Amino acid sequence: MQDLNTEFIERVRDMHEGDTYVLTTHGCQMNEHDSEKIKTLLDTMGFREIDDENEADLAIINTCSVRHSAEDKVIGHIGRLKHVKKKNKDLKVAVCGCMMQRKESRDYVLETFPHVDIVFGTNNIHRLPQLILESDDRNTTVVDIEQSYSNLDNRIFSKVDGHSAYVNIIYGCNNFCTYCIVPYTRGREISRSPEDILEEIEALVEDGVNEVTLLGQNVNSYGKTLEEKTTFAELLHMVHAIDGIDRIHFTTSHPKDVSDELIACYGELPKLANYLHLPVQSGSNDVLRAMNRHYTREDYFKLIDKLRAVRPDISLSTDIMVGFPGETDEDFEDTLDLVRRVRYDNAFTFIYSRREGTRADVMENQVPKSIKDERFQRLLDEVYAIQREKYEELHGTVQDVLFDSISKNDDSMMSGRTSGFKLVHAPYDADRIGKLTPVKITGGNTFSLRGEIVHATK
Ligand code: SAH
Ligand code: SF4
Ligand code: F3S
């Protein structure tokens, strides 16, 4: 909380201590992390988190624009809050996140939903206390948007559940993949200084964190905007050197920017998780070109070969989209072929969604919904069958698991992740929460594994 204007925080506390809030988060890890910061600020101001908007004093929706369905959910939610507010007159409604960064979506919300009290963006979370105070004094919507990122948001060292934390290292995106709205919401690429990042991680370690996930839309571009150039691989070495950090994750990597230096890190840095999320999007060179991805399927296979040469058992995950404009049956077969060859441990699959303002939205040959749906189902079947086999391959092995918490569905069990990011459930043992623990994998299904702690023989 250093460097933040504590005067406003204190004033909100005086007015609102004991008030309740519901925070709803849509979208990717960036948004999840931003929500952690919002939560930290609200908790500091004396607010208390609850589940039921009917009972709340403040409802905050952190929005995502990436697909039409994400925006639809948000619009529906804001609409429902109008009725909640009729019964619960003191409810304050705040809307933030990526949708609010785009003028078109923001104007739509402001015009359609006058019951929204506060609108802010992704670069001015630290101003929330001021915005709450302004809204206390006003009947109209308070709107505050910053186009470029503010380092003040980074001074909200977000609290973590358990022992794992997200850390921003690079903001925005310069890639302009033709389907994607993110460069229009999160702006141009800008890197945080290594000193800042390391300071935050050291503070998190003090707070009990031993696993970090370095965040950015394209972490491989890290350092290009810094005065003193630092590569992403160099940053990984620095983070690796911090005592108290046991495991390092990062997301997301663009295949065109995976350097040999980064691949070498998998051989040099044992704390680097045995996992890489490497979105491929499509297995067809024609589609990849139309998407402006700057690599071919052959380039991608080469990368995977190099990675597996350094870490033969590395877990790989990806994002894949079906139904990009102009995608033919043959293109789609190329995607299925790529999936079979790479054999992903996990894949996030999407149906292409038209986003206004992007180049793909005005492309001809949009694929009909029925074809998109059919391809999506075939892709899912393929992806899940491989995933199940990948999980089964681990049965009988011993994996280092970092346990986080009690399992959601069974409080006699705890959950954690392997270095390859697979979810593992094992009988609860309070001593093992937050510690790397060897676990013998005894079973599981397509989405999680079951295991037993291996106790050291004395
Ligand atoms: N920066 C990350 C991805 C951010 S968005 C990267 O480049 O890998 C996460 C995923 O959403 C993308 O990888 C893509 O598969 C999917 N996505 C983005 N725009 C989309 C759209 N218009 N329709 C469907 N899926 C989309
Ligand atoms: Fe979107 Fe492409 Fe940037 Fe990822 S790299 S955020 S998919 S434009
Ligand atoms: Fe969505 Fe914004 Fe993330 S558009 S995917 S929340 S960067």
Q: What pLDDT is stored for residue 89 in this prediction?
A: 87
* Average pLDDT score over the chain: 94
pLDDT band, residue 419 (cuts 50/70/90): very high
Closest listed ligand to the CA of 281: 1
Q: What pLDDT is stored for residue 2 in this prediction?
A: 47
Alpha-helical (H) ranges within 88-226 are 98-101, 103-112, 128-136, 182-186, 194-206
List residues bridging with 231 in a β-sheet: none
- Report the distance separating Cα 162 and Cα 43, nearest Å: 17
Q: Is 262 in the pocket of ligand 1 (CB under 6 A)?
A: no
Q: How far is the CA of 335 from the centre of ligand 3 (A)?
A: 24
- Report the distance separating Cα 185 and Cα 232, nearest Å: 24
pLDDT (tens digit per residue) in 196-253: 999 999 999 999 999 999 999 999 999 998 999 999 999 999 999 999 999 999 999 9
- Report the distance separating Cα 110 and Cα 118, nearest Å: 10
pLDDT (tens digit per residue) in 270-328: 999 999 999 999 999 999 999 999 999 999 999 999 999 999 999 999 999 999 999 99
Q: Is 428 in the pocket of ligand 1 (CB under 6 A)?
A: no
Q: What pLDDT is stored for residue 106 in this prediction?
A: 96
Closest listed ligand to the CA of 29: 3
Q: What pLDDT is stored for residue 148 in this prediction?
A: 79
Atom of ligand 1 lying closest to residue 279 CA: 8
pLDDT (tens digit per residue) in 26-53: 999 999 999 999 999 999 999 999 999 9
Q: Is 180 in the pocket of ligand 3 (CB under 6 A)?
A: no
Atom of ligand 3 lying closest to residue 65 CA: 4
Q: How far is the CA of 187 from the centre of ligand 3 (A)?
A: 12
pLDDT band, residue 155 (cuts 50/70/90): confident
Mutate to test the pocket of ligand 2, among 177, 189, 251, 258 (most ligand atoms within 8 A of CB): 177
Report the nearest-CA residue for atom 2 of ligand 2: 177
Task: Quote the tokens at residue 37.
Answer: 């910061």
pLDDT (tens digit per residue) in 43-90: 999 999 999 999 999 999 999 999 999 999 999 999 999 999 999 988
Q: What pLDDT is stored for residue 457 in this prediction?
A: 66
pTM of the model: 0.94
Report the nearest-CA residue for atom 5 of ligand 2: 175
Contacts of 194 (CB under 8 A, 6+ apart): 226, 230, 234, 235, 238
Q: How far is the CA of 218 from the centre of ligand 3 (A)?
A: 13
Q: Is 426 in the pocket of ligand 3 (CB under 6 A)?
A: no
Mean pLDDT of 442-447: 92
- Report the distance separating Cα 56 and Cα 88, nearest Å: 8
